[in-house]
Amino acid sequence: MFDRILYIISEKQEEKEIVMNFARRHNSTVLVSGLSPLDGCPPPRTEGATRQAVRAENYERQCWRSIYWVEEELKQSGIRASVIAHLTTLDNLQFLANSTHCDLIILPVSILADHDYHLPEELLPNLPCPILLINNS
């Protein structure tokens, strides 16, 4: 039923386990991606442009490490997985879903914390597939 799952990663192991169990149950391939460092909260006003750039670069480097780590965890668990070589934003999630031809998007609720727990208003009606919000707090 869900051949290709787009998983926007989080740092919570419990959420990864939910995705792994779901993918096993449906014999799915998991497409692993993350949110762009530009999609988070605005930088502090007291921070200079250079510091902001360094902080964004460090965040992006950590994000890529996490993405590849999750891919490896999935593969070690016997789940087909592939990294999407594009960090997305919540506003760009529809484009990513369309371009990957996924059947389901799994988005941890914890990712929405920086967005006051709201999805962009125009996102849901235009998605090509269902979105599953997972919360394991």
Q: Which residue has the tokens 């269902």?
A: 130
Residue 8 lies in domain: 4-134
Degrees (nearest 5) of the Cα angle 92, 59, 11?
Answer: 80
pLDDT band at 17 (very low <50, low <70, confident <90, very high): very high
Residue tagged 């449906």 (tokens): 26
Overall average pLDDT of the 109-131 stretch: 85
**CA 103 – CA 98 distance, rounded (Å):** 10
For residue 128, the domain's CATH number is 3.40.50.620
pLDDT tens, position by position, 19-44: 999 999 999 999 999 887 554 445 55
Question: For residue 121, what pLDDT band results from cuts at 50, 70 and 90?
Answer: confident
Instruction: Say whether 68 sits in a helix, a strand or coil.
Output: helix
- H or E segment at 30? strand 29-33
Mean pLDDT of all residues belonging to the chain: 86
| Cα dihedral 107, 111, 116, 122 sign | negative
Q: pTM for this structure? A: 0.85
Residue 120's pLDDT is 83
In whole angstroms, give the CA distance from residue 136 to residue 129: 22
pLDDT tens digits, 80-89: 999 988 778 8
Number of structural domains, the chain? 1
- pLDDT tens digits, 58-100: 888 888 899 999 999 999 999 999 998 877 888 888 999 999 9
What span, in angstroms and rounded, lies between the C-alpha atoms of 119 and 4? 22
pLDDT the model gives residue 49: 79
